Amino acid sequence: MSYQQRNVMVALVTHLLIAGYFVVNWLAMYTGEGLVAKRVFTLWLTVIVATIVVTILGTILTNIVSAIANAIKNGSEKVETFIEDERDKLIDLKGTRISYVTFCIGVGLAMLSFVLNQPALIMFSIIILFSLLSEIAGDIFKLARYQRGS
């Protein structure tokens, strides 16, 4: 597995776990006491900070572990080089496009929910959810492209 594939895989797993956490907590809040602004804002903050921190830490730890495993397997201390070529840049750009399109759809749905007289907390929750879903869609697209080889 290449350097880019490992990073995308770590990001995908992180985004899936955090999206699951968000959906479970949001649904419990919605069906329980209803949406309370303070709890919803706390959930949003937790999701945003966790996404940033866990993705960075996961990527760093994965690269460290893979470097150690590579050194043990090859029996040398030679550092693995990470080269990004045009193919990697193209896959990243196409994955980013998928993410943007997914996010735009989510923003449209969020605005539609507001037009349909839903509370503003639902609108903003849809935006947070689709920000996670857009990252997941982009990561899945990138992994599929790497597996396909183009």
CA–CA dist 61, 133 (Å, integer): 24
Q: Rounded to an integer, what distance in angstroms lies between the CA atom of residue 24 and that of residue 95? A: 27
pTM of the model: 0.87
- Angle made by CA atoms 113, 116, 118, in degrees to the nearest 5: 60
**pLDDT score, position 80:** 67
| Domain carrying residue 139 | 3-148
Q: Which residue has the tokens 């990073």?
A: 7
Q: Are 130 and 110 in contact (CB under 8 A)?
A: yes
Could you list the pLDDT tens digit for every one of the 150 residues in the chain?
677 888 899 999 999 999 999 999 999 999 988 888 899 999 999 999 999 999 999 999 998 888 888 888 887 767 667 778 898 899 999 999 999 999 999 999 999 998 999 999 999 999 999 999 999 999 999 999 998 876
What value, to the nearest 5°, has the Cα angle with vertex 130 and ends 126 and 135? Answer: 160
Q: Tokens representing 67?
A: 């470097």
pLDDT of residue 95: 94
Q: Provide the number of structural domains found in the chain.
A: 1
